Amino acid sequence: MKLRHATARAAFTLLEMILAIGVASIVLAVVSTTLFAALHLRDATSDAVDAATPVDQALAILRRDLQCAVTPKSGGVLSGDFKTGSVMSLGINEPVAAEIFTATGALAENEPWGDIQRVTYELKDAADPAAAGKDLYRSVTRNLLGSDAPDVADQWLLGGVASVQFSCYDGSQWFDSWDTTDTLSVNTNLPVAVRVHIELATPKAAIEIFVPIDSQSRTNRTSGS
């Protein structure tokens, strides 16, 4: 009889089973909620990183082109013009926002070009007609000595752009347009700094960078003998 009584006391009651199941259900609910919240945060973070990556790459390319801008020189083919505003560039039908001669060309054995290249930045219609805004393109011309029509290579930088504007600083004030080839203008040298303002269509946001330019030429006019 004592053995049967001890065995009976070692078993779980129905109330204990219900309480154990209830506690386990609460723990599982908390764990699943935490897990789904962590997965949602991971997806949101991944989307934010993916969205920021093209912007960061575009700004890095812009900054490098501006920092390596070639100083202007009258009559120099491999020296550089620097133009911003509504610029007509050779080989491109539509006006561009900026035309820069910059020493950012990659040297390679199979490409007989120097490191100086002509770079333009312009907005073009998006490939998807339903997409908001336009696409920002960087067009590059490597063969600056060719006599034929220049071979312009387009590089897609950023989508969903509403507008892009280059402003140049001469040391005292900002200008919306700049042209080192205009002999009637006082701004025939490189600007001291350049501000690039990009308005995004989706999402509604603005991006702005300031790039100082250290290289300056003493003059861009050749002296006559």
pLDDT the model gives residue 79? 65
* Beta strand residue intervals within 88-145, DSSP E: 96-102, 117-125, 134-141
How far is residue 151 from each of residues 42, 114, 155, measured CA to CA in Å?
A: 44, 15, 13
Domain ranges of the chain: 51-212
pLDDT of 6 above 60? no
Mean pLDDT of 17-41: 84
pLDDT of 175 above 90? yes
pLDDT tens string 137-150:
999 988 877 666 67
pLDDT tens string 88-115:
888 888 899 999 999 888 887 777 777 8
Q: What sign for the dihedral angle of Cα 208, 177, 97, 214?
A: negative
Report if pTM > 0.85: no
pLDDT of 3 above 90? no
pLDDT the model gives residue 189? 87
* Beta strand residue intervals within 39-128, DSSP E: 82-87, 96-102, 117-125
pLDDT of 51 above 80? no
Q: Residues 6 or more apart from 9 whose CB is under 8 A from it?
A: none
Average pLDDT, the chain: 81
pLDDT the model gives residue 62? 94
pLDDT the model gives residue 4? 53
